[in-house]
Amino acid sequence: MVGKDAVLDDCAVLALGDTFLVATTDMLHESTDFPEWMTDREIGWMSAAVTLSDIAAMGARPSLVLLAAGLDSPSRLEEILTGARDCCCTCGATLAGGDLDAHRELTLVSSGIGFADRPVRRSGARPGDLVGIVGIPGRAQAALEGYSRFREYLSTPKPRIGEGLALAAAGASSMMDISDGLLASLEDMRQASGLGYAIESEKIPGVPGVPDDVALRFALLGGGDYGLLFTIPPGKSIPDMPEIFVIGRVIEKSQIIVDGRPVEGTGYQHHWD
Protein backbone atom coordinates (compact mmCIF):
# COMPACT_ATOMS: atom_id res chain seq x y z
CA MET A 1 0.00 0.00 0.00
CA VAL A 2 2.96 2.27 0.60
CA GLY A 3 4.48 2.73 -2.85
CA LYS A 4 8.18 3.12 -3.47
CA ASP A 5 7.74 6.78 -4.33
CA ALA A 6 5.79 7.44 -1.15
CA VAL A 7 8.56 5.96 0.96
CA LEU A 8 11.42 7.66 -0.84
CA ASP A 9 9.95 11.13 -1.17
CA ASP A 10 9.90 13.73 1.57
CA CYS A 11 6.13 13.86 1.38
CA ALA A 12 3.12 11.76 0.49
CA VAL A 13 1.28 13.23 -2.50
CA LEU A 14 -2.46 13.21 -3.14
CA ALA A 15 -4.07 14.55 -6.33
CA LEU A 16 -6.95 16.93 -5.53
CA GLY A 17 -8.57 18.11 -8.74
CA ASP A 18 -6.03 20.35 -10.47
CA THR A 19 -3.76 20.70 -7.45
CA PHE A 20 -1.79 18.31 -5.27
CA LEU A 21 -1.78 17.97 -1.52
CA VAL A 22 1.55 17.00 0.02
CA ALA A 23 1.78 15.70 3.59
CA THR A 24 4.77 14.87 5.74
CA THR A 25 5.70 14.03 9.33
CA ASP A 26 8.99 14.21 11.26
CA MET A 27 9.94 13.00 14.71
CA LEU A 28 12.67 14.73 16.73
CA HIS A 29 13.73 13.99 20.27
CA GLU A 30 16.05 15.42 22.81
CA SER A 31 18.86 12.89 23.04
CA THR A 32 19.58 12.72 19.32
CA ASP A 33 18.22 15.88 17.71
CA PHE A 34 18.57 18.79 20.09
CA PRO A 35 22.04 19.86 21.23
CA GLU A 36 22.22 20.84 24.90
CA TRP A 37 22.75 24.52 24.16
CA MET A 38 19.55 24.80 22.16
CA THR A 39 16.81 26.92 23.75
CA ASP A 40 13.22 25.69 23.90
CA ARG A 41 12.19 28.33 21.38
CA GLU A 42 14.88 27.03 19.02
CA ILE A 43 13.74 23.46 19.63
CA GLY A 44 10.19 24.48 18.71
CA TRP A 45 11.45 26.31 15.62
CA MET A 46 13.48 23.29 14.54
CA SER A 47 10.55 20.92 15.00
CA ALA A 48 8.45 22.95 12.56
CA ALA A 49 11.38 23.69 10.23
CA VAL A 50 12.16 20.06 9.42
CA THR A 51 8.63 19.49 8.17
CA LEU A 52 8.35 22.83 6.37
CA SER A 53 11.67 22.08 4.66
CA ASP A 54 10.25 18.77 3.38
CA ILE A 55 7.28 20.67 1.98
CA ALA A 56 9.61 23.25 0.40
CA ALA A 57 11.52 20.40 -1.22
CA MET A 58 8.35 19.24 -2.99
CA GLY A 59 7.93 22.69 -4.53
CA ALA A 60 4.82 23.16 -2.40
CA ARG A 61 3.31 26.04 -0.47
CA PRO A 62 2.87 25.02 3.18
CA SER A 63 -0.55 25.47 4.74
CA LEU A 64 -1.00 23.77 8.11
CA VAL A 65 1.42 22.36 10.66
CA LEU A 66 0.33 20.16 13.58
CA LEU A 67 2.65 19.56 16.51
CA ALA A 68 2.47 16.51 18.78
CA ALA A 69 4.55 17.32 21.85
CA GLY A 70 5.66 14.74 24.40
CA LEU A 71 7.02 16.92 27.20
CA ASP A 72 9.27 15.96 30.09
CA SER A 73 8.03 19.14 31.80
CA PRO A 74 4.90 21.15 31.01
CA SER A 75 6.78 24.40 31.59
CA ARG A 76 8.58 23.94 28.28
CA LEU A 77 5.42 24.08 26.18
CA GLU A 78 5.05 27.84 25.81
CA GLU A 79 8.52 28.52 24.41
CA ILE A 80 8.38 25.47 22.16
CA LEU A 81 5.03 26.59 20.73
CA THR A 82 6.38 30.13 20.27
CA GLY A 83 9.32 28.82 18.27
CA ALA A 84 7.15 26.52 16.15
CA ARG A 85 4.69 29.35 15.48
CA ASP A 86 7.48 31.76 14.56
CA CYS A 87 8.90 29.31 12.04
CA CYS A 88 5.45 28.62 10.56
CA CYS A 89 4.83 32.34 10.30
CA THR A 90 8.11 32.87 8.40
CA CYS A 91 6.90 30.25 5.91
CA GLY A 92 3.33 31.46 5.50
CA ALA A 93 1.95 28.44 7.35
CA THR A 94 -0.36 28.16 10.36
CA LEU A 95 0.34 26.10 13.47
CA ALA A 96 -3.19 24.74 13.52
CA GLY A 97 -3.31 22.26 16.37
CA GLY A 98 -1.64 19.26 17.85
CA ASP A 99 -1.54 16.84 20.70
CA LEU A 100 0.00 17.10 24.14
CA ASP A 101 1.42 14.26 26.18
CA ALA A 102 3.79 13.66 29.09
CA HIS A 103 6.96 11.84 28.04
CA ARG A 104 10.19 10.90 29.81
CA GLU A 105 12.20 12.38 26.95
CA LEU A 106 11.15 15.52 25.10
CA THR A 107 9.74 14.25 21.80
CA LEU A 108 8.29 16.49 19.10
CA VAL A 109 6.53 15.31 15.98
CA SER A 110 5.47 17.89 13.45
CA SER A 111 3.22 17.05 10.55
CA GLY A 112 2.60 19.41 7.70
CA ILE A 113 0.31 19.85 4.76
CA GLY A 114 1.04 21.89 1.66
CA PHE A 115 -0.27 22.36 -1.84
CA ALA A 116 1.63 22.17 -5.10
CA ASP A 117 0.65 22.84 -8.71
CA ARG A 118 3.43 20.50 -9.72
CA PRO A 119 5.00 18.46 -6.92
CA VAL A 120 8.68 17.80 -7.55
CA ARG A 121 9.87 14.35 -6.51
CA ARG A 122 13.32 12.98 -5.77
CA SER A 123 13.26 10.69 -8.76
CA GLY A 124 12.53 12.86 -11.79
CA ALA A 125 16.06 13.69 -13.04
CA ARG A 126 17.29 12.84 -16.58
CA PRO A 127 20.90 12.44 -17.72
CA GLY A 128 22.26 15.82 -18.74
CA ASP A 129 20.15 17.79 -16.25
CA LEU A 130 22.00 20.38 -14.21
CA VAL A 131 22.49 19.67 -10.49
CA GLY A 132 21.97 22.64 -8.19
CA ILE A 133 21.71 23.58 -4.54
CA VAL A 134 19.94 26.28 -2.56
CA GLY A 135 21.93 27.78 0.30
CA ILE A 136 25.60 27.70 1.21
CA PRO A 137 26.04 24.17 2.55
CA GLY A 138 28.13 23.62 5.68
CA ARG A 139 27.20 26.67 7.72
CA ALA A 140 25.32 24.58 10.30
CA GLN A 141 28.28 22.21 10.60
CA ALA A 142 30.62 25.21 10.92
CA ALA A 143 28.53 26.40 13.86
CA LEU A 144 28.73 22.93 15.43
CA GLU A 145 32.52 23.01 15.08
CA GLY A 146 33.02 26.34 16.81
CA TYR A 147 32.29 28.99 14.18
CA SER A 148 29.68 30.54 16.42
CA ARG A 149 28.76 33.34 14.00
CA PHE A 150 26.87 30.72 11.98
CA ARG A 151 24.81 29.61 14.98
CA GLU A 152 21.47 30.71 13.51
CA TYR A 153 21.91 28.36 10.54
CA LEU A 154 22.04 25.49 13.00
CA SER A 155 19.53 26.68 15.59
CA THR A 156 16.82 28.26 13.45
CA PRO A 157 17.23 27.03 9.87
CA LYS A 158 14.98 28.80 7.35
CA PRO A 159 12.98 26.42 5.17
CA ARG A 160 13.50 27.38 1.52
CA ILE A 161 9.84 27.84 0.62
CA GLY A 162 10.30 30.63 -1.93
CA GLU A 163 13.19 28.93 -3.68
CA GLY A 164 11.32 25.60 -3.75
CA LEU A 165 8.27 27.20 -5.34
CA ALA A 166 10.40 29.11 -7.85
CA LEU A 167 12.36 25.99 -8.82
CA ALA A 168 9.15 23.96 -9.25
CA ALA A 169 7.70 26.71 -11.46
CA ALA A 170 10.96 26.88 -13.44
CA GLY A 171 10.68 23.17 -14.27
CA ALA A 172 13.02 21.46 -11.77
CA SER A 173 13.02 17.74 -12.56
CA SER A 174 13.76 16.52 -9.02
CA MET A 175 14.30 18.04 -5.60
CA MET A 176 14.87 17.16 -1.93
CA ASP A 177 16.15 18.96 1.12
CA ILE A 178 19.72 18.61 2.39
CA SER A 179 19.28 17.74 6.03
CA ASP A 180 22.21 15.35 6.54
CA GLY A 181 24.92 16.76 4.25
CA LEU A 182 25.26 17.11 0.50
CA LEU A 183 26.76 13.66 -0.13
CA ALA A 184 24.03 11.90 1.82
CA SER A 185 21.38 13.78 -0.14
CA LEU A 186 23.06 13.03 -3.46
CA GLU A 187 23.10 9.38 -2.44
CA ASP A 188 19.39 9.47 -1.55
CA MET A 189 18.66 11.06 -4.91
CA ARG A 190 20.81 8.47 -6.68
CA GLN A 191 18.81 5.68 -5.03
CA ALA A 192 15.54 7.33 -6.04
CA SER A 193 16.48 7.95 -9.69
CA GLY A 194 18.98 5.18 -10.41
CA LEU A 195 21.13 7.81 -12.13
CA GLY A 196 24.50 9.35 -11.24
CA TYR A 197 25.45 12.81 -10.04
CA ALA A 198 28.77 14.42 -10.97
CA ILE A 199 29.60 17.57 -9.03
CA GLU A 200 32.54 19.96 -9.08
CA SER A 201 33.73 21.05 -5.68
CA GLU A 202 34.93 24.43 -6.92
CA LYS A 203 31.32 25.29 -7.79
CA ILE A 204 30.15 24.69 -4.22
CA PRO A 205 30.14 28.07 -2.46
CA GLY A 206 32.50 28.04 0.50
CA VAL A 207 31.44 28.93 4.02
CA PRO A 208 32.81 32.49 4.39
CA GLY A 209 35.91 32.75 6.56
CA VAL A 210 36.47 29.00 6.74
CA PRO A 211 39.52 27.44 4.98
CA ASP A 212 38.52 25.89 1.63
CA ASP A 213 39.31 22.28 2.52
CA VAL A 214 37.44 22.52 5.84
CA ALA A 215 34.49 24.27 4.18
CA LEU A 216 34.30 21.50 1.59
CA ARG A 217 34.19 18.85 4.31
CA PHE A 218 31.44 20.81 6.09
CA ALA A 219 29.49 21.08 2.82
CA LEU A 220 29.81 17.45 1.79
CA LEU A 221 29.39 15.77 5.17
CA GLY A 222 27.88 18.30 7.57
CA GLY A 223 24.21 18.13 8.50
CA GLY A 224 21.65 20.64 9.64
CA ASP A 225 21.57 23.14 6.79
CA TYR A 226 18.12 22.42 5.37
CA GLY A 227 19.05 23.78 1.98
CA LEU A 228 17.70 22.19 -1.20
CA LEU A 229 19.26 19.88 -3.76
CA PHE A 230 17.63 19.95 -7.20
CA THR A 231 18.06 19.02 -10.82
CA ILE A 232 16.76 20.97 -13.80
CA PRO A 233 16.92 20.38 -17.55
CA PRO A 234 19.61 22.54 -19.18
CA GLY A 235 17.11 24.43 -21.38
CA LYS A 236 15.17 25.78 -18.38
CA SER A 237 15.78 29.17 -16.86
CA ILE A 238 17.08 28.89 -13.29
CA PRO A 239 15.41 31.40 -10.92
CA ASP A 240 17.55 34.46 -10.29
CA MET A 241 17.72 34.21 -6.51
CA PRO A 242 20.77 34.90 -4.35
CA GLU A 243 21.57 31.46 -2.93
CA ILE A 244 20.93 29.16 -5.91
CA PHE A 245 24.07 27.52 -7.32
CA VAL A 246 24.66 25.03 -10.12
CA ILE A 247 27.28 22.51 -9.00
CA GLY A 248 27.19 19.64 -11.51
CA ARG A 249 25.36 17.36 -13.92
CA VAL A 250 23.20 14.26 -13.86
CA ILE A 251 24.95 11.31 -15.55
CA GLU A 252 23.82 7.88 -16.79
CA LYS A 253 26.07 5.77 -14.57
CA SER A 254 24.58 5.45 -11.08
CA GLN A 255 27.42 6.92 -9.03
CA ILE A 256 28.24 10.01 -7.02
CA ILE A 257 31.27 11.70 -8.62
CA VAL A 258 33.15 14.60 -7.01
CA ASP A 259 35.81 16.24 -9.20
CA GLY A 260 35.89 13.21 -11.47
CA ARG A 261 36.26 10.61 -8.69
CA PRO A 262 33.54 8.26 -7.43
CA VAL A 263 32.72 8.61 -3.72
CA GLU A 264 30.39 6.87 -1.32
CA GLY A 265 27.34 8.84 -0.25
CA THR A 266 27.56 9.41 3.48
CA GLY A 267 26.75 11.84 6.25
CA TYR A 268 24.85 11.88 9.51
CA GLN A 269 22.77 8.76 10.15
CA HIS A 270 20.72 7.52 13.06
CA HIS A 271 22.13 4.36 14.62
CA TRP A 272 20.36 1.84 16.80
CA ASP A 273 21.86 1.68 20.28
Interface positions with a copy of itself (CB under 8 A): 1-2, 6-7, 9, 11-12, 14, 16-17, 21, 23-29, 31-32, 63-64, 66-70, 73-74, 85, 88-89, 94-99, 101-105, 107, 109, 111, 113, 270-273
User: To the nearest whole angstrom, how small is the minimum distance from the Cβ of residue 81 to a copy of itself?
Assistant: 8
Residue among 28 and 167 whose Cβ is closer to a copy of itself:
28
Q: In sequence order, which residues have a C-beta less than 8 Å from that of residue 214 and are 6 or more positions away?
A: none
* Distance, CA of 40 to chain centre: 21
Residue among 76 and 126 whose Cβ is closer to a copy of itself:
76
What is the C-alpha to C-alpha distance for residues 39 and 57, in angstroms, rounded to an integer?
26
Residue among 3 and 242 whose Cβ is closer to a copy of itself:
3
User: To the nearest whole angstrom, how small is the minimum distance from the Cβ of residue 105 to a copy of itself?
Assistant: 6
Residue among 103 and 253 whose Cβ is closer to a copy of itself:
103
User: To the nearest whole angstrom, how small is the minimum distance from the Cβ of residue 24 to a copy of itself?
Assistant: 7
What is the C-alpha to C-alpha distance for residues 78 and 61, in angstroms, rounded to an integer?
26
User: To the nearest whole angstrom, how small is the minimum distance from the Cβ of residue 268 to a copy of itself?
Assistant: 13
Which helix (H) or strand (E) segment holds residue 133: the answer is strand 130-134
User: To the nearest whole angstrom, how small is the minimum distance from the Cβ of residue 235 to a copy of itself?
Assistant: 32
Residue among 30 and 129 whose Cβ is closer to a copy of itself:
30
Helix (H, G, I), strand (E, B) or coil at 95: strand
Burial 163-182 (b: 16+ CB within 10 A, else e): bbbbbbebebbbbbbbbbbb
User: To the nearest whole angstrom, how small is the minimum distance from the Cβ of residue 246 to a copy of itself?
Assistant: 30
Residue among 4 and 261 whose Cβ is closer to a copy of itself:
4
Alpha helices in 12-171 (DSSP H): 30-33, 40-57, 77-90, 139-144, 151-155, 161-170
Residue among 57 and 215 whose Cβ is closer to a copy of itself:
57
Cα atoms found within 13 Å of the Cα of residue 189, Cβ hemisphere only: 36
Question: Of 233, 212, 235, which Cα lies nearest the Cα of 138?
Answer: 212
Residue among 84 and 256 whose Cβ is closer to a copy of itself:
84
User: To the nearest whole angstrom, how small is the minimum distance from the Cβ of residue 128 to a copy of itself?
Assistant: 30
With beta carbons less than 8 A apart as the criterion, state whether 222 and 180 touch. Answer: no
- β pairing state of 196-199 and 256-258: parallel
User: To the nearest whole angstrom, how small is the minimum distance from the Cβ of residue 245 to a copy of itself?
Assistant: 29
What is the C-alpha to C-alpha distance for residues 202 and 33, in angstroms, rounded to an integer?
31
